[in-house]
Amino acid sequence: MDFSLTARQQELQERTRAFIARGVMPFEHDARQTPHGPTEDLRNELVALGRRAGLLTPHASVELGGLGLSHQDKAILFEEAGYSPLGPTALNIHAPDEGNVHLLELVATPAQRERWLRPLVAGTLRSCFCMTEPPPGAGSDPSMLRTTARRDGGHYVIDGLKMYITGAVGAGFAIIMARTDDGAATMFLADMDQPGIVIERQMEALDSCFTGGHAVVRFDGLRVPASDVLGEIGQGLRYAQVRLAPARLTHCMRWLGQARRAHDVAAAYARQRHAFGQPLAAHEGVSFMLADNEMDLHVARLAIWHCAWLLDQGHKGRHESSVAKVLCSEALWRVADRSVQVLGGSGVTDASIVSRIYRDMRAFRIYDGPSEVHRWSIGNRIARST
C-alpha cells in the first residue's frame, strides 16, 4: 500500500480543512443546534455553504453532481469534515443519508433515482433507513425482522414498528425493510408524508449531531406501489450488507476527525495550563495520555486506509469493515475519554467542544453494530478457518 497522497488528494484535504475551519466551525455555538441535532434551518444554511464550496455530497457520482470519490478519497475528506460536529451535515455526508446515497446509486431504478436520489444528493431532501425494531424484532440480527409487507394487487401493505430510526423526523422518504408473504426480507421506498406512517415519538439520546435525532416509527397499513420496491424481492438482507459494510467505514472516517479535534483541544490546553510550577503537558501523567492519543489516532487511520484500499480493489470488505469498526470505535473513544480527563472541568462542561464530542462518540460503539456483535462475527470467521 502507498500511503502518500496524490496532488488531487492533497488539494481535496486542504480545501476541505479550510472550509471546515472558516465556514463551519463558527456555527458550533449556534442556538439552532438542539438536543435532536441541527434544526432544518441550520442544516439548510450549512448545506448551502457546502454547495457553494463545491464539496456537497462528494461521495456521489459525478453524473449526479458529486465528486465521484474513491474510498481512499473519502477517508481523507470525511476525516477533515468530521473535525467539526457540523462538518458532515454541511457536506451532506452524515448518516443515514450518506449510506442511502450509496445504496440507491447501486440498486435504484432510473425512476427511483430521479424521484429520490437526485434531490438527496442535491441536499434538498433527507432520508431515513428503517430496519431496527424493538424486541422481539430485528436488531443486530436482521433475520428476526417482524415488519410485514403483504401483497395486495399492485401494492404492498406494510405493518410494523421500527425503533432508533435516525433522521426520521423531517425526512422526505424512508427505506423500509420488511418481510414479504414468502418470509423473505425486502426493501421498499416510501415518502414519509403519507397515511400509514406514524412517528410515535422522538427519542432522547446521548448524541446531538444528527438532524432529526432518533425516533420510533410505526407503519400502519402503509400502501407502497410494487414499482417502489428497492431492488429485487427477497434481497433485503443482501442489500443491507451492501449498504452497511461501507457505512461502517465512513462512520470511522468521520469520528476520526472528531477524535483528532478532541486531542488537539486537549493538547493545546495542556501546553497552556500550568500546575505545580510547569505546564500540564510537562507532567508525565498528562503527557502519557496525549502520547496514547496519538498512537490510537495513528492505528485507527491505518485501519481505515487498509479497509478503504481493499474496497477500492473490489474486495467486499465485510470482515475488514467489522475489524475497522471495532478497532476505530474503541480507539477513538479512548482518545475522547483521555481528552476529557486532560481538560478537567473544561472537558465536562460547555467550556470546550470536547464534552459534546464525548457524548456523541459514545454512541459510535453501538451504531452499525455494537463491538460485541462484530467480535462474534470475526470470531466465527476464525473458527471456520482451516
At 165-216, the pLDDT tens digits run 999 999 999 999 999 999 999 999 999 999 999 999 999 999 999 999 999 9
**Which pLDDT value is given to residue 7?**
95
Dmax (CA) for the chain in angstroms is 80
> Are 311 and 248 a contacting pair, CB within 8 Å?
no
Say which residue, 315 or 77, is predicted with more confidence: 77
pLDDT per residue over 29-59, tens digit each?
999 999 999 999 999 999 999 999 999 999 9
**Which pLDDT value is given to residue 9?**
96
Q: CB neighbours of 160 closer than 8 A, spacing ≥ 6? A: 133, 137, 146, 147, 148, 178, 218, 219
Q: Where are the beta strands (DSSP E) in 170-297?
A: 173-179, 185-191, 197-203, 214-225, 229-230, 274-275, 278-279
Q: Looking at the predicted structure, is the pLDDT value of residue 266 above 70?
A: yes
Is the same domain home to 272 and 308?
Answer: yes
Q: Is residue 110 a part of any domain in this protein?
A: no
Is the same domain home to 71 and 14?
Answer: yes
Average pLDDT score over the chain: 95
User: Residue 22 sits in which domain range?
Assistant: 7-94
Is the same domain home to 222 and 272?
Answer: no
Peptide bond into 110 cis (omega under 30): no
Cell numbers describing residue 66: 458529486
Find the CATH number of the domain harbouring 12.
1.10.540.10
Is the same domain home to 58 and 150?
Answer: no
Find the CATH number of the domain harbouring 361.
1.20.140.10
pLDDT band at residue 386 using 50, 70 and 90 as cut-offs: low
Which residue among 72, 94, 116 closes a domain? 94
Is the same domain home to 283 and 371?
Answer: yes
Q: CB neighbours of 279 closer than 8 A, spacing ≥ 6? A: 270, 271, 272, 273
Q: CB neighbours of 277 closer than 8 A, spacing ≥ 6? A: none
Is the same domain home to 164 and 150?
Answer: yes
| Mean pLDDT confidence for 136-157 | 94
What is the number of domains present in the chain?
A: 3
Is the same domain home to 358 and 266?
Answer: yes
